[in-house]
Structure 1
Amino acid sequence: MTKISRADAAEVLTLPGGGAFHLLADASHTDGALGANRLVLGVGAAGAKTHYHAKSTEVFYVLDGVAEFVLGDEHTQVSRGDLVVVPPGLPHAFGAAPGHPTDLLVLLTPGVERFDYFRQLARGEAVLDADAYDVHFVSS
Structure 2
Amino acid sequence: MPQQPPPDPTREAVPHAGSATLVRAAHAEVVALAAGSAFHLLADGDGSHGGSAFGVNRLTLTEGADGARPHCHGRSSELFYGLGGAAQFLLGDHLTTVAAGDLLIIPPGLPHAFGAAPGSTADLLVVMAPAVERFGYFRHLGRIAAGQDTFDALLTEQERYDVHFTDATGWRRTRSRTH
Same fold, TM-score > 0.5, yes or no: yes
| Structure 2 letter corresponding to 1:4 | L
Higher strand content, 1 or 2: 1
| Structure 2 letter corresponding to 1:24 | L
User: Based on CA coordinates, which of the two structures has the bigger radius of gyration?
Assistant: 2
Higher helix content, 1 or 2: 2
Task: For residue 139 of structure 1, report the CA deviation from its aligned partner.
Answer: 2.0
Q: How many angstroms apart in 2 are the aligned matches of 1:24 and 1:32?
A: 10
Q: How many angstroms apart in 2 are the aligned matches of 1:130 and 1:17?
A: 25
Q: How does 1:48-127 map to 2 (within 5 A)?
A: 48-124=68-144, 125=149, 126=151, 127=154
* Structure 1 unaligned blocks of 5 or more: none
Q: How many angstroms apart in 1 are the aligned matches of 2:27 and 2:67?
A: 23
- Aligned partners of 2:73 and 2:108 also within 8 Å: yes
Residues 71 and 31 (structure 1 numbering): CA distance in 2 closer, same or farther, change over 3 Å? same
Q: How many angstroms apart in 2 are the aligned matches of 1:94 and 1:137?
A: 13
User: SS in structure 2 opposite 1:117?
Assistant: helix
* Structure 2 unaligned blocks of 5 or more: 1-18, 169-179
* Aligned counterpart, 2:166: 138
Listed one character per residue, the Cα deviations across residues 61-83 of structure 1 (whole Å, up to 9, x for unaligned) are 01000100011121001100000
Listed one character per residue, the Cα deviations across residues 25-77 of structure 1 (whole Å, up to 9, x for unaligned) are 00123525110000000000000011000000000001000100011121001
Identity of aligned residues (%): 54
Q: How many angstroms apart in 2 are the aligned matches of 1:54 and 1:16?
A: 27
Instruction: Figure out how many residues of one structure are paired with residues of the other and give that number.
Output: 140
Residues 73 and 122 (structure 1 numbering): CA distance in 2 closer, same or farther, change over 3 Å? same
TM-score by length of 2: 0.76
Task: For residue 130 of structure 1, report the CA deviation from its aligned partner.
Answer: 1.7
**Greater than 3 Å deviation, 4+ residue runs:** none
TM-score by length of 1: 0.96
